[in-house]
Structure 1
Amino acid sequence: MTTARPRPTSRDVARAAGVSQATVSLVLGGKWHGRVSPGTAETVRAAARDLGYRPNLTARSLRLGRTRTALLVVPALTNEFFARVYAGAARVAAEHDAGVVLYPSPEGTGPARDPFESARSALDGVIASSMAADALGALHDGGLPLVMLDSNPKAPSAAATVNLDLADGMRQTAGHLLGLGHRRITHLSAGVDSWTFDVRARALDAALSGVPDVAAERVAADELSVAGGVRAAGRALSAAPAPTALVCDDDLLAAGACKAARRLGLRVPEDVSVTGFDDLALATAVEPELTTVRLPAEEVGAAGMRALVSVLDGRAARTTTLPVTLVVRGSTARPGG
């Protein structure tokens, strides 16, 4: 008969790390900054991992009157980008012994209903995408701290924002296409009224506006999907003169643009270059593979969770802007080449 090993305690962690139980409590409670050295904090965390130690969250919640549970509001998990945002938030939450409750909007990119009207007391804070911002009124009115993702940094209601450098992503895209010699460039924009897509449009307009001989157009997709990209690109490529490059607001639209080009008897990139935004798995599933702007989605969720933990622990939350990278693949080339 095998005897079950006793569950390790904070005293066991303290003994293994060579520190006091108070230090263990500070480190594992996320309150060690400025009170414990980074080296000691890592020693404590390593000892806890080695021992398989997990704090008694129920007891701590009763003691502190808080559950350390965040509500993550995103448009829809059918979009790979937001699934990766959740993965990043959940990873950091686990490191700080916090929890994440996920609420995707049932209407996709539209407003979501307040999902916890009768259980708001079970939440300590909210992390939300700007594309689901309309879901937040009731929750924020209840006094919960709010961290916004991909949102206007001047939003007065947010304790912090975590943004991607979307404008730089569009500047990199424009620079790449201009460097290849493209001068007839059409922007396939997402048909979504959102800060994130407004930033992309303004940045692309600014990057192209001062370049001689550039003919820039914009065609709005009727939905943010491959099918929406097919329809929008079909309209753009049927214009005279047709664009030599399509700049798409995301990879779904870009995949649709490639499909529309083939249906019209055009080759990508020989007849028309196509760029995307996000660098989803789809970007390397199509042929040719997409030139696209890589967005660090997991780090967006991770940074959002770190900011919320800072607020819950009484520390100032930092507003963060994460860099993005243009990944050049086979869907772009010199015009006519």
Structure 2
Amino acid sequence: MTEHSARPTSRDVARAAGVSQATVSLVLGDKWRGRVSERTAGLVRDASRTLGYRPNLAARNLRLGTTRTALLVVPALTNEFFARVYTGAAEVAAEHGFGVLLYPSPEGTGPARDPFASARAALDGVIASSMATAALDALSGTDGAHLPLVMLDSDPAAPGAAARVNVDIADGMRRVTEHLLGLGHRELLHVAADVDSWTFRVRAEAVADAVRNVPGAALRTVRADLEVEAGRAAAEQALTTPGPRPTALVCDGDMLAAGACKAARRLGLRVPEDLSVSGFDDLALATAVEPELTTVRLPAEQVGRRGMDALLRVLEGRRPEGGDLPVSLVVRGSTAPPPARTG
């Protein structure tokens, strides 16, 4: 086909694949499952690629009253976890002819403002990560004309969401705390994120429960903004407070753990010989520091993929996949048995 030739149409694709135009519409609109065979769907896709056919999405969306656009709302872009969630969501969206807009809420975990004149006119649905359901009222609507809302990493007991996708945060925090207790640590410090959200409340409860089950173990808690420097300041203050010095720090995030390692160096403490430090999330930062951080790996891309899949299922009237996504403990060089007590 020359550059002056007419653009291929769905009729051309149908003719090349040996099917009807209705079948082409079903396949390219991702509505073929249960109605068209895998082989026929493959023939249509192959013909579409060969001919360079691109459906007129604007016209189709106008007919259907949809935009094929989802909004992913996150509290910040400073944490790579959210970038990885977006990557997973965008991959699934692209497979289904959807687009995903990334929106870092100006209020963090607080109420999110509508970035459009009317979100309900511009979007087919909203996915929100690590926020409260009520914070999405301005986007999802409260007057009965709700946009479908899928919540990621949020309170499963809160009403208002069409679907939820969570990772097993409690299990991750329990695993890393039990790892430190198993090494022999009994004086633990929880460097907790100073963020009022469900995910961090769950982390605090899991750490406390794990320590409570071990005779002779003690836990203190300090809070800090989810930043390296804030983690350093909080850990340094806690390590110089009168009383038994902690031998292990359980941090709510890798950035807090990196700050704790800086605090240890400033105080002349060696990690892990004098002080064990653990993180959470398994960001790139976890292997950029020395020693590398023991941490909990979260399947961020899978969270995004399942979140987008849940939204698509809701839009199609199907039930989203259930169950929490598993996490894994990654043991590296920042944790070791506590130093032998003297005197």
CA distance in 1, matches of 2:158, 2:41: 34
Q: Is the 8 A contact 2:112 2:138 kept in 1?
A: no
**216, 222, 231: which one aligns with 1:229:** 231
1:55 Cα deviation (Å)? 2.5
CA distance in 2, matches of 1:320, 1:18: 42
For residues 233-272 of structure 1, the aligned pairs below 5 Å read: 233-239=235-241, 240-272=243-275
Q: Flag structure 1 segments of 5+ consecutive residues without an equivalent.
A: none
Residues 260-283 of structure 1 show CA distances to partners (whole Å, capped at 9, x for unaligned) of: 111111111111111111111111
Give the residue type in structure 1 aligned to 2:333.
Answer: G
Instruction: Say if 2:170 is the partner of 1:197.
Output: no
Give the residue type in structure 2 aligned to 1:236.
Answer: A
For residues 1-337 of structure 1, the aligned pairs below 5 Å read: 3=3, 7-11=7-11, 13-14=13-14, 19-37=19-37, 41=41, 44-45=44-45, 48=48, 52-118=52-118, 120-131=120-131, 133-140=133-140, 141=142, 142-221=145-224, 223-239=225-241, 240-336=243-339
CA 1:28–1:264 in structure 2 vs 1: closer, same or farther (change >3 Å)?
same
CA distance in 1, matches of 2:15, 2:273: 67
CA 1:258–1:14 in structure 2 vs 1: closer, same or farther (change >3 Å)?
farther
SS in structure 2 at match of 1:71: strand
Give the residue type in structure 1 aligned to 2:28.
Answer: L
1:44 Cα deviation (Å)? 4.9
1:320 Cα deviation (Å)? 4.2
CA 1:19–1:131 in structure 2 vs 1: closer, same or farther (change >3 Å)?
same
Q: Is the 8 A contact 1:291 1:330 kept in 2?
A: yes
Give the residue type in structure 2 aligned to 1:280.
Answer: L
Q: Is the 8 A contact 1:152 1:195 kept in 2?
A: yes
Per mean C-alpha deviation after superposition, the further-off stretch among 42-51 and 184-193 is 42-51
1:28 Cα deviation (Å)? 3.1
Superposed CA RMSD in Å reads: 2.3
Q: Flag structure 2 segments of 5+ consecutive residues without an equivalent.
A: none
SS in structure 2 at match of 1:277: coil
1:134 Cα deviation (Å)? 4.9
Per mean C-alpha deviation after superposition, the further-off stretch among 86-95 and 241-250 is 86-95
Give the residue type in structure 2 aligned to 1:78.
Answer: T
Residues 161-191 of structure 1 show CA distances to partners (whole Å, capped at 9, x for unaligned) of: 0101111111210221122111111111100
Q: Is the 8 A contact 1:268 1:274 kept in 2?
A: yes
SS in structure 1 at match of 2:131: helix
TM-score by length of 2: 0.89
Give the residue type in structure 2 aligned to 1:61.
Answer: N
CA distance in 2, matches of 1:274, 1:160: 35
CA distance in 1, matches of 2:111, 2:3: 53
SS in structure 2 at match of 1:70: strand
CA 1:8–1:94 in structure 2 vs 1: closer, same or farther (change >3 Å)?
farther
CA 1:96–1:220 in structure 2 vs 1: closer, same or farther (change >3 Å)?
same
Give the residue type in structure 2 aligned to 1:180.
Answer: L
CA 1:52–1:249 in structure 2 vs 1: closer, same or farther (change >3 Å)?
farther
Greater gyration radius = 2
1:259 Cα deviation (Å)? 0.6
Give the residue type in structure 2 aligned to 1:68.
Answer: R
Residues 35-83 of structure 1 show CA distances to partners (whole Å, capped at 9, x for unaligned) of: 3455655665566556554322111111101111111110111221111
Residues 165-221 of structure 1 show CA distances to partners (whole Å, capped at 9, x for unaligned) of: 111111210221122111111111100010011111111212221111111121111
Q: Percent of aligned pairs with the same residue? A: 72
Per mean C-alpha deviation after superposition, the further-off stretch among 181-190 and 5-14 is 5-14
TM-score by length of 1: 0.91
Aligned residue pairs, count: 335
CA distance in 1, matches of 2:331, 2:76: 28
